[in-house]
Amino acid sequence: MVKVSFVCPIYNKSSYINKVLRSIKKQNGSYEKEYIFINDGSEDSSLSKLKKTTKKWSNVKILNQLNLGPANATQKGIDLSTGDYIKLVGGDDIMTPDCTSILLKAIKKKKSVAVFSNYSLLKSYNKIEFPENKKIINFRFIKNPIIDTIQSSFSGTTPTLYEHKAIKKSNGCNKKLFIEDFSLALELAKLGNFCFIDNLTSFGPKDDKNRIMNNKKTQLIHDYNAALYYFVKNNNQLNSKAKIVACKKALGRTNKWAIRNSKANFFNKMLLLRIFLSTGITDYIYLLRQSCLYFYDKVKENEIRYKIK
C-alpha cells in the first residue's frame, strides 16, 4: 500500500493548530499515513496542544528544535519521513478531506514528481464549505519544467504533493534560505514532470499579520531570488536559456521591489543590470547575487534572515 508522510512545521500557531490537526486527521483515502510535526521554536502553546491532540494517534513523530525557519524545519521533517509521497502542510492551513487522495490520483496519472492544485485564502475558518474533489479538474502536465518553474515560480506546501524518492535524489529544501517551497520545486524540476489540477484542496487565513506572505514580503522576494542564485550556482549543467530566464526574473523582481519600497528611481541598478544582460553578459552568478545583495543596505538588520555571502 502507498504510504503518505504528512510533514507539518509549526511556529506559533496555537490559534490554528487544533483545526489544522483535525483537517490532517480527517484526510480520506486508502493509503498508509505517517505524521511528522516539527515545532520550530514556538513561544506559545503550540507544542503542548500538538502533543495533547496527537497523544493517541499512531505513526506520529514530533521534533522540537530552536527556531531556524520553515526551510530548515520542513527539510528536517522530510528527512524523518518514510512515506512514498510527502504531503506538506502549513501550520495554519486547512485541507479539504479529499485533498491528499485527489493529489495522489493526479501525481500517479503521469508518474509526476510533483502535483500542484488550487488554494484559497479565507477571512474566517468558521463554517468552511469544502468542495467535493471526486474527479480531477483540468489535468495538465509539463515534461521538462525547469524553465517554467523559474519563470512562473511554481511552489507551495499545502496544495501540493511531492514524490519522496525524487526529493531524496535532489537537494530538497535549501536550508541556507528561510523560505522552503520554491527551492524544493526547483530541485524537483530537474528530475521529472510536474502536473497541475484546478481542484481547490486547501485554505489559509487571509488577514493574519503573522503569515510570511503578509509580514515578511521582503524576505519572500529575497529568498525566491536567493533560491535561483543557489540553484544556478550548484547546477552547472543548466543551459544558458534557463540561466538567462533566472536572471531576468530575479532582477525584475528586485527592480519592482526597489521602485515600490525603497523609492528608487525607475532607472536603478537592477534595471541597468537587466540591460547588461540583454547585451550578452554571461556572468549569471554575479547578476543573481546582485539581485539579493541589493536588499541588505536598504532594510533593517533583522528583516532578512540567512543572507547570501
Q: What is the pTM of this model?
A: 0.95
Is the pLDDT reported for residue 194 higher than 80?
yes
pLDDT tens-digit profile of 55-70?
A: 999 999 999 999 999 9
Q: Are 107 and 188 in contact (CB under 8 A)?
A: no
Taking CA atoms, 141 is separated from 117, 195, 214, 248, in Å, by 12, 4, 30, 24
Domain boundaries along the sequence of the chain: 3-207, 216-293
CATH number for domain 3-207, candidates 3.40.190.10, 3.40.50.720, 3.20.20.10, 3.90.550.10: 3.90.550.10
The letter for the amino acid at 10 is I
* Averaged pLDDT, 117-130: 92
Is the pLDDT reported for residue 267 higher than 70?
no
Q: Are 7 and 34 in contact (CB under 8 A)?
A: no
Mean pLDDT of the residues in the chain: 94
* Averaged pLDDT, 93-121: 97
Q: If you count them, how many residues does the chain have?
A: 309
Which triple of cell numbers denotes residue 138?
Answer: 483540468
Q: Using 50, 70 and 90 to split pLDDT, how confident is the model at 184? A: very high
Rounded Cα distance between 191 and 146, Å, is 9
Q: Using 50, 70 and 90 to split pLDDT, how confident is the model at 265? A: low
pLDDT tens-digit profile of 73-102?
A: 999 999 999 999 999 999 999 999 999 999
Among 55, 174, 162, 61, which residue's Cα sits nearest to residue 114? 162
pLDDT tens-digit profile of 220-262?
A: 999 999 999 999 999 989 999 999 999 999 999 999 998 887 6
Q: Using 50, 70 and 90 to split pLDDT, how confident is the model at 264? A: low
Q: How many CB atoms lie within 10 A of CB 73?
A: 27
